[in-house]
Amino acid sequence: MPTKDPARKAHFPAIEKRYQKPMSYWFSVMEKIKDKKYSEQISHLRNKYKFSQVHANALVMYSRGSESAHRFNSISDYYKSIDPIQAKTIKSIFKVIRTKFPALELVLAWNHPMLKLGDEYIFGVSTAKNHILIAPFNATVFKEFSPYFKGHKINKKTI
């Protein structure tokens, strides 16, 4: 059963139970392959020890110094990590949407700010060096609002 705790250590009891070895054993395995690439480490655990992807990722990332799946503790931490102009633009986008739809909740999910209604994600944002990627979670939105995005690249599920 997946854990809701973002700490990578939260997977350790399940790893010990499923693969019948203490974590000290798995840390020694990781020590032997520490110089390999992430994908090679994952493949090693999955192929040789039949690890699930989730367990392999938790062990590999913990061994690489990442103790949590969360990169940011808050949305303001996310904004601090990106270009200030992009942060200002994203804040404006969310402000406009939340003004029109106040029931939407601004949350961090998959290390990106998203708007959520109940259990459903409605809208998400991501950034790259010179781009802001917006992703409504409904294809109808693309069709309905496509006139507003003339001159922008529209992909299958992102703008």
The residues of the chain scoring below 50 in pLDDT are 1-3
pTM for the model: 0.58
In a domain, 70, yes or no: no
Are the beta carbons of 11 and 54 closer than 8 angstroms? yes
Number of structural domains found in the chain: 2
In degrees, rounded to 5, the angle at the alpha carbon of residue 152 between the alpha carbons of residues 81 and 111 is 25
Q: Are 141 and 114 members of one domain?
A: yes
Measure CA 150 to chain center.
Answer: 29
Q: Are 98 and 141 members of one domain?
A: yes
Q: What is the pLDDT of residue 1?
A: 42
Q: Are 92 and 27 members of one domain?
A: no
Q: What is the pLDDT of residue 38?
A: 92
Q: What is the pLDDT of residue 31?
A: 95
Tokens linked to 46: 């999955």
Q: What is the pLDDT of residue 25?
A: 97
C-alpha to C-alpha distance for 139 and 145, rounded to whole angstroms: 10
Name the H helices within 36-83.
38-49, 53-63, 75-81
Q: Are 54 and 97 members of one domain?
A: no
Are the beta carbons of 3 and 10 closer than 8 angstroms? yes
| Sign of the alpha-carbon dihedral angle for 78, 80, 86, 90 | positive
In a domain, 25, yes or no: yes
Q: What is the pLDDT of residue 71?
A: 76
pLDDT digits (tens, 9 = 90+) for 67-76: 777 777 788 9
- Farthest-apart Cα atoms in the chain, separation: 58
Supply the range of the domain harboring residue 86.
75-149
Tokens linked to 4: 């809701």
Q: Are 84 and 143 members of one domain?
A: yes
